[in-house]
Amino acid sequence: MKQSGRIWNKTLNDQMLSWGFTRLSCELCVYYQQSPTGTIVTAVHVDDFLSISSSKVENERFKSQMRSTWTISDLGPVHLVVGIAVQHERATKKILLSQTALIDKVISMFGQLHTAPISTPMDPGLKLRCITHDSLPAEDWADLSKYPYRSLVGCLLYLSIGTWPDISYAVQQLSQFLDSFSHLHWNAAIHVVQYLKRMRELRLSLGGNSINLLGFTDSDWDNFLDTRWSVGGYAFSLGSGLISWNVQKEKTVGASSCEAEYVAAFEAAREAVWLRTLLNNIDMPTQGPTTILCNNNASITLSGDPLLHACIKHIDIKYHFLRKCVQSKELAVTIRILQIKGIHPSKEGCNRSSGYPTRTTASLFRM
């Protein structure tokens, strides 16, 4: 039944609450429990559970509770979850995430086994535009219909969401032309595959003792040639590695680079507030304001003081949410002084703190 998903979620939630878990208000698929015997955090994806606890005893107790109500399959320590491979390095207190199997599948599926790898996810300065039926001969359209462009972009999108933030911008650009692409767009998508072929062994690394939340934001003003809309993005690290990132076309046309950067910083501020709430809900409160690094002095000034009011009266009121967060000392927007040379600087990828206790036990099981 179409209502079955909702009914299952309600049944699950009622049972978890009866066991003493707290459902996070900011993330309804994550539950948290702290008791004298330890702390446990569990996340649910449909009927798959990922549990993380401070001790084996606490983890086993949770599994026993699950078995008392439902029939479950205990898959043991986490090695693969939703297509993402998980490796543990207890000596260095790290968890490594990778999607090598999917990358190999994409390389084979789209005929790139014997092509040369490339060191960049996209050609610098490449600008893509919509292609109309009037701009190409009929035989070219017939030829383009044979290319699995949508399937390729879909595969790349899953990789960019999972463990490959460095292809996010390229995938965002490619996804704008699912029904109006040309050979130029197809070659750009294959370019991303060839980049992944070169970097396939890199892994996203979670680890470290610091849980300092740090954000980065940027905007490409007037980027989209067909509509002149800007593209904004942000990335957040917890410790030394990325835990959240996003690139998207902004929802309004920026009249200046300041406005485009300000809108991008607004989106980063919303994500920062959510991340701070998430950390607070699992009893890991952030100390002081969260810093967001930006490279536009005008938007930094605007975020802290309505000094430029006469020039920005046209900006939607909702974007001034950023200023409210800065004035309440929840966020601090400052100039970006760090040079990011690559998302995966080593074969271990970007370090990032998991935010959980040092001694952790993680298990994966399916209903």
What is the predicted pLDDT for the residue at 343?
41
**In the numeric block, which tokens belong to residue 349?**
């990828």
Token pair for 186 = 């197809």
User: For the chain, where are the E strands, in sequence order?
Assistant: 22-23, 30-35, 38-45, 48-53, 73-77, 80-81, 84-89, 94-98, 204-207, 213-220, 231-238, 242-249, 290-294, 331-335, 361-366
Domain ranges of the chain: 4-71, 100-199, 210-335
Count how many Cα atoms sit within 13 Å of the Cα of residue 174 in the half-sphere of its side chain.
30
- 3.40.50.150, 3.90.79.10, 3.90.650.10, 3.30.420.10: which CATH number matches 210-335? 3.30.420.10
The mean pLDDT values, 10 residues at a time, for the chain of 367 residues are 88 94 91 89 90 88 92 89 88 86 95 92 88 77 88 95 93 92 93 95 80 87 76 86 89 75 86 91 85 83 63 57 72 62 40 34 49
Q: Distance (Å, rounded) from C-alpha 41 to C-alpha 34?
A: 9
User: What's the token pair of residue 329?
Assistant: 């000392």
d(CA 38, CA 305) in angstroms, rounded, equals 45
In terms of Cβ atoms closer than 10 Å to its own Cβ (0-12, 13-18, 19+), residue 28 is exposed
Asked if 203 and 87 touch (Cβ cutoff 8 Å), the reply is yes
d(CA 80, CA 25): 27
Instruction: Give the pLDDT score at 149.
Output: 95
- With vertex at residue 178, the alpha carbon angle to CA 174 and CA 184, rounded to the nearest 5 degrees, is 55
Contact partners, residue 274, CB within 8 Å, separation at least 6: 26
